Each structure stands twice: as C-alpha cells, then as structure tokens.
Structure 1
Amino acid sequence: MFGKKHEAHVIVLNDLDDGREAVRRALESASAEEVPGLQRALRILDESASAEDPKIRWTREVLAKAGIDPLEREVHAVREVRKELPGLSLVAAVDMVRALNADAKQRR
C-alpha cells in the first residue's frame, strides 16, 4: 500500500520435538518386535534435529544450481538469492549468504 514494496520474510519451522516425544512414548509400550524400528526412528529424528540449518541448506542449493561460489562472488550470490525468492530484503539475503559463508569456513 502507498507504493511500498512487500518484503518476503523467511520463517523456518522445525518442529521435531513433538515427533520425538511421540516415538519415545511409543517405545514405552512397544512390543519386542517394534522396539528396533522405533529406536531407529528416534535416531533418525535426533539426527534431523541436529542437521544443517534449513536456510543455509536452501541458500547453498540455490547457489549451487546457479553455479555461484558465494565466497568468491558474494554480491552475485546475494542477487541470485533475491532472484530466487522475490520480495526478500537485501538485508535478509546478505544475512543468508554470510551465514552460508560462515558455515563453509567453519567446516574447513
């Protein structure tokens, strides 16, 4: 309204706690045959919870698809992220690319 651009906000929800709790409760009353599968499911949920930040993963995938190295071409990376998600503010796009770069440097 009044000529202002609408800004897209990125919200990532990771609600695995309820799922993990449900599997833990199921384990309490599980039969011997069900226990190994439920334990495996719990391990998978625990690993998913500690996995990479979804915003970083998405940013990495977008830039890989575009063939842009965000460490070498940060400005191009920010532009590509904004192109992929119209309405994303410049500040948010810069934050996402810099978080990706920090993650990449930390993994080295």
Structure 2
Amino acid sequence: MSMFRKPQPLAVLVVRDAPDVVADLRRALETAGEAERPGLDRALALAERSAARPDAELRCRWVRQRLDSSGYTGPADSVEAIKTLRQAEPGLSLLQAATYAKETAAAEAC
C-alpha cells in the first residue's frame, strides 16, 4: 500500500428528486380548484423544505439509519460504529466510513 495513493471518492451518492416534486406540485397548483389549493400549498411547502436540505444532512440520516438497523445505538464516530457501518455497507472503504461517521457525530452533537 502506497502513502501516495489517490484518495477514493466518497461512495454515498445523494439522490434528490425533491426539485422534480416541487416543480410537479407548482404545475398542479396552477390548475387546482379552490378545494385542492390548501393541500397543494402545504405539500409544496414540505417539498421545498426537503429540497433545501444539504447533502451532508442526508448522508448523516443515511448513516444513522444503517447504524440503527444494525442495532447499534452508541456514538456515530466510535470504532464500533465504523465497523458496524462497514458491515452494513460492505462497499464502503475504511476512509469513507470514518468520514461519514465523523460527519454524523458532528451533526448529532449540534
């Protein structure tokens, strides 16, 4: 193993379809009757809030879901948590798992 190896990109891809949902809701609102408007307005506000969430928040939620589903409840950045995360997602490298774990622990501390 070389110390000069090129770092691997992070493996978790955040897929966002919220912008499409927001656009669909806006189009629906244009043709909605008065009875439908309050529900569509509320749905649009929720979708816009979801679309505004940063990728880091989504990654942290993903990590915590993996840890919780594995039965792990301790701090996200412990050695045990990183091991659990890598067992839950075998494609993650040690660096990737450690990065996500630190990011999750920092977010949970706020």
Name the SS for the 1:12 alignment partner: coil
For 1:49-97, what per-residue CA distance to the aligned partner results, in whole angstroms no more than 9, with x for missing partners? 34572321121123234234125x6111111100000121111101110
My pick for the range that moved more, 22-31 or 47-56, is 47-56
Provide the C-alpha distance between the structure 1 equivalents of 2:108 and 2:79, rounded to a whole number of angstroms. Answer: 17
**Residue from 17, 20, 36 that aligns with 2:19:** 17
Alpha carbons 2:82, 2:97 under 8 Å: kept: yes
After TM superposition, the score normalised by the length of structure 2 is 0.75
* Count of aligned pairs between the two proteins: 99
Match of 1:101 in 2: 105
Match of 2:46 in 1: 44
Match of 1:30 in 2: 32
Unaligned runs of 5+ in 2: 1-8
Alignment pair present for 1:82 and 2:86: yes
Provide the C-alpha distance between the structure 2 equivalents of 1:75 and 1:43, rounded to a whole number of angstroms. Answer: 39
After TM superposition, the score normalised by the length of structure 1 is 0.77
My pick for the range that moved more, 47-56 or 79-88, is 47-56
Unaligned runs of 5+ in 1: 1-6
Provide the C-alpha distance between the structure 2 equivalents of 1:25 and 1:68, rounded to a whole number of angstroms. Answer: 43
